[in-house]
Chains A and B, each alone.
Chain A
Amino acid sequence: MSAPAQAGFGKVLKEWIFTCDHKRVGILYLIGSLAAFLVAGLMAMLIRVELSSVGPTLTANPGTYNVWLYFHGAAMILGFQIPALTGFLANYLIPLQIGAKDVAFPRLNALSLWLFWMGIVLALLTFVIPDPPDFMWTAYPPYSIISSGNTAFYTFTVLIMGFASIAGGVNLITTIIYMRAPGMTWSKLNMFVWCTFAAFIVQLIFVPVLGTAVTMLTFDKYLGTTFFSPGSGGDVLLYQNLFWFYSHPAVYVILLPFLGIVFDVVATFARNRVFNYKAAVYGAIAVALMSGEVWIHHLYASGMPDWIRIGMMISTILISVPVGVMMISLVGTLYRGAIDFKSPMLWALGCMFLFLIGGLTGIPNAMSAIDLHIHDTHFVVAHFHYVMAVAGTFAVMAGVTYLFPKMFGKMCNEGISKLGFVVTFIGANVTFFSMFFVGLQGMPRRYFDYQQFPQFQGLNQLITVGAFIMALGFLIVLISWIHALVAGKKAVDNPWGSRSLEWTTSTPPGPGNWAEVPDCTNFDPYGYGSNK
């Protein structure tokens, strides 16, 4: 940087903190979600150390353990995965992929970003207040109502982040509909744009219902309403229904964008068209449309007539059909491709592998006859960590590594990056594959101790070792990013040789992205010449 740039430090800072530019908003989303990821990961380590031996290990107070569980779940889902995928990736990538100068409402976008940050602040304050929430991120009544934990901090975190999600969703939906570059027809959109569009529709419909659920919870606890207290005509299961009516589709809010970015990474590094593009797009839309008809599978054990159980079993398994169609498209994109195993591609392939295991173990969970036995065991924990938590995180890593040169103009060191991937991949599988077995043996989830069942200790120690390997892996990834920022090689405009529109900008792109809005009449995001 030259001397005048030094003098302009204050201006640069101002241009970041007060920014309304979608790329910078995206990067600030990334920073916030990574902060949540680090703290939530720390909680996971505390949980794993606690479970590594029979009897109290780190704490003798189950309430403390509950607070760790609460923060781990809430921060991973609301603070990390949803904002990293629909905040960071969507904001950074969508305007660049559709050829827009920015999103439709740049100031509203900045508002969404900072409301999300306020949600993070509120969540972190739970470490300071004397009565942190201790009821998981699900906050089921009656416990969340009678608990001395601060329910208000939880519900307001959800409400503020929920509003940020809705505003962000409206913003990007409007952007995709109205701001595509000339010639950028719907059939030319990247898979990431399509998948994220579907995810935003899901958000618009379901986040408000979570909002009503936590609003009623707040009213019940602090204003004396009786929505969830059976003694006065309320219904406890009503909360579970409203909560999962949102929270199962929340899985698709995470799943769709992460499959979207994996599609784009896989197409780029396999130098291939997306196999059966149209079917994959319809698959994404079908997932969005069907996302609202499966939530009751979370309540199999809570009690319901058998005919509902059977109906929900069928509807749950049905949604694996469009997901399967998307998966086939992904695998088909690899077929006869000229695959280049760069680090973003490794993360994407790792994501596909983890997602496949998670998806297949979801089927026994969906079957009510099996689920009644494995409900609330570690089998379920292993399943949703594979399908959503770890697969989603791998997709975020794929996205960050893929876009790193574009965002910061620096290349990551391939060696360190690949090492980080390998270590994380091994750690993730050691952790969660072992968890299936301890779960099948009957180890319940959410318990801070298993004194009656010392036979679980061996597998639990293996899981804890896996967790530490995984943590080491993510640490290496973090080092690779910092190393790249400080000492990385300068990146060219299109280091991966992608045909997508985002790589036609300068690196990193300036305000407005392009000097002129690009003409996309003859554009094809997957025009690699093969498989046509």
Chain B
Amino acid sequence: MEGHDVAHHGGAAGHHEWEVSLWPLLLSVSVLFVLPFPFALYFVYKSGLLAVLALGIGVPLLTVSLVGWVSEAIKGRNVNSVEQGLGTGAVPFFIVAEAFIFAGFLAAYWATRLLAPSWPPAGTPHISMTIPVIMTIILVSSSVTIHFAEEKLEHNNVSGFISWLIVTIVLGAVFFLISAYEWSHLMGAGFTFSTNIYGSSFFSITGFHASHVIVGLTGFIAVLIPALRGTVSKNFVKSVSVYWHFVDIVWFFVVSQVYFW
């Protein structure tokens, strides 16, 4: 095929190539096999086997397309300068959208809570107030450490940057583990998603926040691996750390509303 490189359709812009990538299409197809198909097969059609089969197609496809996408982006780093510089410009808008997901969940929580005859509703066990305080301290410190890391990077101190980044990742991971411990503890005490409206709100909101912690940590690891090999994209670091601060700020809402109110 490459041998028959034909003239382009647009004469005036002839020196450009049409930009193509296989990965967006493949990633989209994989999404069908990772989310709606297994969910519907398992929960609607009660077929665990078919659900696993769908995941068996979806997960490898998803992995391949993500890896393909990232490696293509790394290779094209110098060619496509546009895609590099604007990431930091786009992140705030993504965060606005994310914030409104939390706003939706919190508004629902406020509405049901203010209309409830008594609070907490029957069936709610005692929820420890020490754990959220510890979690808050950990998450706030991780926001501070990533700030230190960025400062090191500003002074081109890459090894200092890497150390503070690792500290941040560890703090984030500990936060997530405590959250998981708390979940299993509460579920062990018979408090679940379906116990009452507080259970529904509690697990949805904290679970959704925890999923953001995971996304942030993934971003940090995506910074760390190339950094260990000596390449750091300051724009990408900036984007991930802004996202991490957002996760931190949202936690204040979660902790003050869901635990301490």
| Residue in A closest to B98 when the chains form the complex, CB atoms | A208
Residue of A nearest to B121 (CB): A233
Instruction: With both chains docked as a complex, state the minimum distance between the C-beta of A167 and any C-beta of chain B, in angstroms.
Output: 8
In the complex, whether B107 has a CB less than 8 A from a CB of chain A is: yes
Interface residues as binary, A103-141 with B (CB distance below 8 Å gives 1, 0 otherwise):
011111011011101100110000000010000000000
Contact B24 A510 (CB under 8 A): no
By a CB distance below 8 angstroms, the chain A residues around B105 are 212, 216
Name the one of B4, B32, B98 contacting A4, with C-beta atoms under 8 angstroms.
B4
Whether the pair B90, A209 counts as a contact (CB closer than 8 A) is no
Q: Does the CB pair A18–B20 fall under 8 Å?
A: yes
Contact A174 B28 (CB under 8 A): no
- A461 proximal to B (CB < 8 A): no
Please state if B8 and A225 are interface contacts (CB–CB under 8 Å).
no
Question: Residue A17 at the B interface, CB < 8 A?
Answer: yes
Say yes or no: A107 contacts B23, CB within 8 Å: yes
Chain B interface extent, by class: 35 or more
Structural contact, A235 and B112, CB atoms closer than 8 A: yes
Chain A 1-35 interface 0/1 with B at a Cβ cutoff of 8 Å (1 = within):
00011011011001101111100100000000000
CB distance from A190 to the nearest CB of B (A): 21
Whether the Cβ atoms of B97 and A170 lie closer than 8 Å is yes
- Interface size bracket, A side: 35 or more
Among B73, B196, B200, residue most surrounded by chain A Cβ atoms (within 10 Å): B200
Q: With both chains docked as a complex, state the minimum distance between the C-beta of B187 and any C-beta of chain A, in angstroms.
A: 13
In the complex, A211 Cα to B97 Cα: how many Å?
10
Residues of B within 8 A of A447 (CB): none
A153 close to B (CB within 8 Å): yes
Contact A174 B13 (CB under 8 A): no
A235 and B40 within 8 A (CB): no
Residue from A18, A101, A173 with most neighbouring chain B CB atoms (10 Å):
A18
B230 beta carbon closer than 8 Å to chain A = no
Interface pair A226/B194, CB less than 8 Å apart:
yes
Collect the chain B residues with CB atoms within 8 Å of residue A131's CB: 44
The interface stretch among A321-329, A336-344, A511-519 is A511-519
Chain A residues numbered 81-121 whose CB sits less than 8 Å from any CB in chain B? 101-102, 104-108, 110-111, 113-115, 117-118, 121
Interface of B is mostly: helix
- Bound-state CA distance A208–B23 (Å) is 25
Q: Contacting A206 at CB < 8 Å: which of B13, B44, B69, B100?
A: B100
Chain A residues with Cβ below 8 Å from B24 are: 20, 107-108, 110-111, 113-114
- CB pair B19 A204 closer than 8 Å: no
Point out the residue from A24, A152, A234 that lies within 8 Å of B39, measured CB to CB: A152
Q: Distance (Å) between the CB of B57 and the closest chain A CB?
A: 14
Which A residue's beta carbon lies closest to that of B115? Answer: A235
User: In this assembly, does B15 line the interface, its C-beta being within 8 Å of a C-beta of chain A?
Assistant: yes
Chain B min CB distance to A251 (Å): 18
Chain B contacts with A in 92-124, Cβ cutoff 8 A: 93-94, 96-101, 103-105, 107-108, 111-112, 115-116, 121
Q: Is A353 an interface residue (CB 8 A)?
A: no
Instruction: List CB contacts (< 8 Å) of B192-218 with chain A.
Output: 192-194, 196-201, 204
Min CB distance B89 to A, Å, is 5
- The answer to whether A505 and B4 touch across the interface, beta carbons within 8 angstroms, is no
Determine whether B35 belongs to the interface, using a CB cutoff of 8 Å to chain A: yes
A207 CB → nearest B CB, Å: 7
Instruction: Say yes or no for A186: interface residue by CB 8 A criterion.
Output: no
B126 in the interface (beta carbon within 8 A): no
A10 to B86, CA, bound (A): 33
CB neighbors of B among A214-233 (8 A): 215-216, 219, 222-227, 232-233
Contact of B12 among A170, A223, A514 (CB under 8 A): A514
Q: Is there contact, CB below 8 Å, between B197 and A512?
A: no
CA distance A4 to B7 in the complex (A): 9
* Residue A484, interface by CB 8 Å: no
Closest B residue to A149 using CB positions: B44
Cβ contact within 8 Å between B35 and A156: yes
- Tell me which residues across on chain A come within 8 A of B151, comparing CB atoms: none
Closest Cβ of chain B: how far from A460's Cβ, in Å?
Answer: 36
Tell me, yes or no, whether A169 is within 8 Å of chain B by CB: yes
B188 within 8 Å of A (CB atoms) = no
Q: What separation, in Å, do the CA atoms of A505 and B9 have in the docked complex?
A: 12
Query: Are the C-beta atoms of A213 and B36 separated by less than 8 Å?
Result: no
Give Cα A225 to B207, complex, Å: 14
Within 8 A of A (CB), among B65-88: 69, 73, 80, 82-83, 85-86
Name A17's contact: one of B8, B16, B25, B99 (CB within 8 Å): B25
Query: Which of A4, A7, A117, A178 touches B89 (beta carbons < 8 Å)?
Result: A178
Residues of chain A within 8 A (CB-CB) of B90 are: 104-105, 170-171, 173-174
A508 at the interface (CB under 8 A from B): yes
- Pick the residue among A14, A106, A108, A156 that contacts B36 (CB under 8 A): A156
- Tell me whether B111 and A235 are in contact (CB under 8 A): yes
- CB neighbours (8 Å) of B13 from chain A are 505-506, 509-515
Name which residue of chain A comes closest to B200, CB basis.
A225
For residue B87, which residue of chain A has the nearest CB?
A: A105
Interface residues of A in 189-212 (CB under 8 A from B): 204-209, 211-212
Chain A nearest Cβ from B83, distance in angstroms: 6
CB distance from B122 to the nearest CB of A (A): 9
- CB within 8 Å of B: which residues of A? 4-5, 7-8, 10-11, 14-15, 17-21, 24, 101-102, 104-108, 110-111, 113-115, 117-118, 121-122, 131, 150, 152-153, 156-157, 159-160, 166, 169-171, 173-174, 177-179, 204-209, 211-213, 215-216, 219, 222-227, 232-235, 238, 241-242, 505-506, 508-515
Can you identify 30 A-B contacts, CB atoms within 8 angstroms? A4-B4, A5-B6, A5-B7, A8-B4, A19-B19, A20-B24, A106-B19, A106-B83, A107-B69, A111-B24, A113-B24, A114-B29, A118-B28, A118-B29, A121-B32, A150-B40, A152-B39, A156-B36, A157-B36, A169-B93, A204-B93, A206-B100, A208-B103, A222-B43, A505-B13, A509-B12, A510-B16, A511-B16, A513-B13, A515-B15
Q: Could you tell me which B residues sit within 8 Å of A by CB distance? A: 1, 4-25, 27-29, 31-32, 35-36, 39-40, 43-44, 69, 73, 80, 82-83, 85-86, 89-90, 93-94, 96-101, 103-105, 107-108, 111-112, 115-116, 121, 192-194, 196-201, 204
